[in-house]
Amino acid sequence: MVVHSKPAIEQLSNANSCAALLGGIPLIDLSKPDPKAQLVRACEDFGFFKVVNHGVPTALIRDLESEAVRFFSLPLSVKAQAGPPDPFGYGDKKIGPNGDVGWLEYLLLTTNSHSDYHKFSSIFGHAADKFRCLVNEYIAAVKKMACEILEMLADGLRIQEREAFSKLLMDEQSDSVFRVNHYPPCPDFPESNGRNLIGFGEHTDPQIISVLRSNNTSGLQISLKDGRWIPVPADQSSFFINVGDSLQVMTNGRFKSVKHRVVANGSKSRLSMIYFGGPPLSETIAPLASLMQGEEDSLYKEFTWFEYKKSAYKSKLADNRLGLFEKIAAS
C-alpha cells in the first residue's frame, strides 16, 4: 500500500490556509438564473467545483447507495463472482493493469441501459434487475445534469454551437462509464504518526467531464496549480464536477483537468459514485476552432478518443497522460 510521509501531511495543513485564502472550493447553484460566468471561472481556476440544486432526486441517490452498500457488505468470495473487471465488473485493490493499488474495492459499470448485468444475477438473484434499473435511472439523471453544465459552459465561452460538448455525451456511441468506489475503514493506518494511506492515487480523469457524489466521509483531495493539495469537505447532498483531459484539450488548455486523489479514512467507510462522460471512440479530440484566437496555435496534436483511451490504459495513474499529445514549441 502507498503511504504519505509526514512532510505530505504538513503540506496538506499549509494547503488548508491556502484554500481559505482562495475562498475554498467553488460552489455553484444551478437554480440561479445565469451561472455561466461562475462555471467558466471555476473550470479555468480549479478544474473542479461543487453544484447544489442539481435536480437529481434524493430518493434515487439514497436507493442506489443503499444497494451499493449492500453489495460491498457481502463476503469477498461472493463479490468476486462479479469480477474481475473485463472491462466491467468488480475489482479489489488493483487499479488498472500497471501496478497501481489502493485501499478500495469498486464496481465499474457500463452506461449502456440495455446491459443485462449478468455478472450480478448469481449475487442479487431477482434483485439484479432492481439494481440495473436504479443504475440506469441514476445515470440518466447525472448525465442530464452534466449535459446542462456543458451547454452552459459552451454559452459562457461564446461557442456558437451550444451542444459542442454535450452532444458527445448524448451520442448513442458515447463511451461513458459509471464507477462505484468503496473505501473500507482502515484502522491499521490511522491519519496520524506521519502517514496517510492512499485509497486512490493521484490522477486526472481522461474523459470530458466527471460527476461525483460521495457519502458523508472525507478523503477526496485536489491539487492546486502550484502543486499543493487541499481536502474537499464531505457533502453528501451535493455533486462535485471535474474537468477531464478531453475537455482541457477541446478548450486548448483554457479549462484545467484537475489532479485529484483519495486518502483512506481510519475509522469510516467512504462510498463514492462517479459518472465519467466520454465521447464516442471514433471522435477526434482537438481544440474547437471557435476558441482559437487569431494566430493562436493548438497546444495539442489531434487524436481520437480511442487513441487516447488506449494510451491512458497503458499508463500509471500519476503519469501526465496528455504529455504524449502536447505539441512541443519550436525553440
Asked if residues 277 and 174 have their Cβ atoms less than 8 Å apart, the reply is yes
Indicate whether 330 pLDDT > 50. Answer: no
CA angle 66, 141, 290 (to 5 degrees): 140
Coil vs helix vs strand at 20: helix
- Residue of 258, 217, 198, 206 lying closest to 45 (CA atoms): 258
Find the range with the poorest average confidence among 20-34, 188-202, 279-293, 317-331: 188-202
Provide the pLDDT for residue 17.
35
Q: Is 277 exposed, middle or buried (0-12, 13-18, 19+ CB in 10 A)?
A: buried
Q: What percent of the chain stands above pLDDT 70?
A: 89
pLDDT tens-digit readout, 119-134: 777 787 777 888 899 9
Catalytic one of 132, 179, 261, 270 = 270
Residue 208 Cα to chain centre, angstroms: 10
The sign one gets for the Cα dihedral 293, 299, 303, 304 is negative
Q: Does the annotation count 270 as an active-site position?
A: yes
For the segment 24-48, the average pLDDT, to the nearest whole number, is 94
List, as one string, the DSSP characters of 271-292.
EEEEEEE--BTTPEE---GGG-
Band (pLDDT 50/70/90 cuts) for residue 257 is very high
Which amino acid is residue 301, in one-letter code? K
Band (pLDDT 50/70/90 cuts) for residue 47 is very high
Residue whose entry in the numeric block shows the C-alpha cell 484566437: 293
For the segment 325-329, the average pLDDT, to the nearest whole number, is 81
Cβ contacts of residue 92 below 8 Å, gap of 6+? Answer: 76, 79, 80, 83, 105, 106
For the segment 148-161, the average pLDDT, to the nearest whole number, is 97
Provide the pLDDT for residue 115.
76
Band (pLDDT 50/70/90 cuts) for residue 8 is very low
Indicate whether 14 pLDDT > 70. Answer: no
pTM confidence score: 0.90
Provide the pLDDT for residue 5.
41
pLDDT tens-digit readout, 183-237: 998 776 555 455 568 999 999 999 999 999 999 899 999 999 888 999 999 898 8
Determine the Cα–Cα distance for residues 105 and 83; give it in Å rounded to an integer. 11
For the segment 140-163, the average pLDDT, to the nearest whole number, is 97
Band (pLDDT 50/70/90 cuts) for residue 139 is very high
Strands (E), the chain: 3-4, 27-29, 48-52, 89-95, 100-110, 177-183, 196-203, 209-214, 220-223, 229-231, 239-243, 260-263, 270-277, 284-285, 303-304
Provide the pLDDT for residue 295.
64
For the segment 56-78, the average pLDDT, to the nearest whole number, is 95
